[in-house]
Structure 1
Amino acid sequence: MFLALERVLSTEEAGALRDAAAALSFGDGRASAGRFAQAVKANDQALPSPDLEAIRDKVTASLMAHPVFGTAARPKAMTRPIISRYRQGQAYGLHVDDAVMQGIRTDLSFTLFLSEPDSYEGGALIIADKIEERAFKLGAGDAILYPSTMLHRVEPVSSGTRLCAVGWVQSRIRSAEQRELLFDLDQSITALFEAEGKSDAFDTLCRTRSNLIRMWAD
């Protein structure tokens, strides 16, 4: 399941984080890549600092506060976000994320865009399934959430600078199929409540959701 999460950050918040990220010191992005991904990775990664930690805290808190992120990911643990920078000529070739990062199992990946899409050329996130490739280049403050099992790449940036925060989630619901069922059930429960309020059908669906989580949660 691919989800575009709108307004994880407001326009003002995204701008403030973009300015703060632009002032960070950056090193070679290959430092966080696995053995084989290093051969196709060419970007910059923010180096440790108190200012980086403040940005990471804001990204994490904003994601956790986003209602769609919570119901889609059902996070048990998250990595500390990486602030990535792509300048002219930089790209990240086709790869799959490591199964374990920062000590957690990677079930879901996210990219939170900090740069406005018209401020750089190229740089789309391309996610490949067995049928087609899908390109994502979202507005500043928006994020894409997708399974970490997918092959993906970042197109070369031909001009401008692409800043984003990337990270990984270990879900309480390990199965992607079960997560999607629960997400659909959540959406149906919300729609039913908005249309009819509390009812016998609403209570039954809530009970079903709770019992499924009880059965499936790690």
Structure 2
Amino acid sequence: MLITIQQVLTSEEIAQFRQHLAQANWQDGVKTAGTLARSAKQNLQLDDASELARSLGNHLLRTLAANSLFVSAALPNKIYPPKFNCYTQGGHYGTHVDSAIMHVPGTAVSLRSDLSATLFLSDAEEYEGGELEIETAFGVQVIKLAAGDMVLYPSSSLHRVTPVTKGARIASFFWIESLVGDEAERSMLFDLDQAIQALTPTVAPDDANLLKLTGVYHNLLRRWATT
């Protein structure tokens, strides 16, 4: 399941993020790459331990907690603290798959990566190249979104970032451990929840069919969720 969520951040929030990031101390992204990824990864990243990364990441997490589409799609149990990267001057990330288990540095927290997320902070017109290419059962999906928009996709997917040949592609990225680890089950719950939300304004709150559908959703979630 690949889902685009529009306007996660407002234009004002994006401007504030970009102002702070323009003054940030970026470091070579290879420092955080695994053994296999070192030869494929060429970008810049913000130091995860910096006050700026923590502040912007916490702001993003608070925003996502109030985003009903994100909650419906991800059913988040744990979220890895958001990271920030910049691709410029040919920067790219070759085809790879994200690690299955993520350990949060400096803590005892670890999580299973069910979903990967990329939040674009640069508008598509600001740079050339830099497409996020995700391999799916239906072929390669090419993602290049407006600033403030985010894509969610299975962490098990092979994916890559094509070389940025002009300008700079700035983004935040992170991983989610879902309450429902199975992708097919999570996808069915999402479809059911979206149908319920669409029906709710059109019928009475005590409509018998709406109540039955809501009951089915919660009983399936109760059956499939792990905490």
Q: Which runs of 5+ in 2 are unaligned?
A: 104-109
- How many pairs are equivalent? 218
> Percent identical across equivalent pairs?
38
2:145 is matched with 138
Aligned residue among 199, 217, 220 for 1:212: 220
1:50: Cα distance to partner?
1.2
1:156 is matched with 163
Whether the aligned pair in 1 keeps the contact of 2:132 and 2:159 (CA below 8 Å) is yes
DSSP 3-state at the match of 2:34: coil
* Distance in structure 2 (CA, Å) of the matches to 1:105 and 1:159: 35
Q: Which runs of 5+ in 1 are unaligned?
A: none
Q: What's the TM-score once normalised by structure 1's chain length?
A: 0.97
Runs of 4+ in structure 1 over 4 Å off: none
Whether the aligned pair in 2 keeps the contact of 1:21 and 1:55 (CA below 8 Å) is no
1:189 is matched with 196
AA matched with 2:219:
N
* Distance in structure 2 (CA, Å) of the matches to 1:81 and 1:21: 14
1:31 is matched with 31
* Distance in structure 1 (CA, Å) of the matches to 2:138 and 2:115: 20
More helix by share: 1
1:113: Cα distance to partner?
0.3
* Distance in structure 1 (CA, Å) of the matches to 2:85 and 2:204: 44
**CA deviations over 1:4-42 (Å, ceiling 9, x no partner):** 000100111112112212211111112222210111000
DSSP 3-state at the match of 1:160: strand
**CA deviations over 1:109-141 (Å, ceiling 9, x no partner):** 000000111011110101012442111110100
* Distance in structure 1 (CA, Å) of the matches to 2:16 and 2:204: 39
Whether the aligned pair in 2 keeps the contact of 1:24 and 1:52 (CA below 8 Å) is no
1:85 is matched with 86
1:99 is matched with 100
* Distance in structure 2 (CA, Å) of the matches to 1:98 and 1:82: 15
**CA deviations over 1:83-107 (Å, ceiling 9, x no partner):** 0011111100000000011221000
The RMSD of aligned alpha carbons is: 1.0
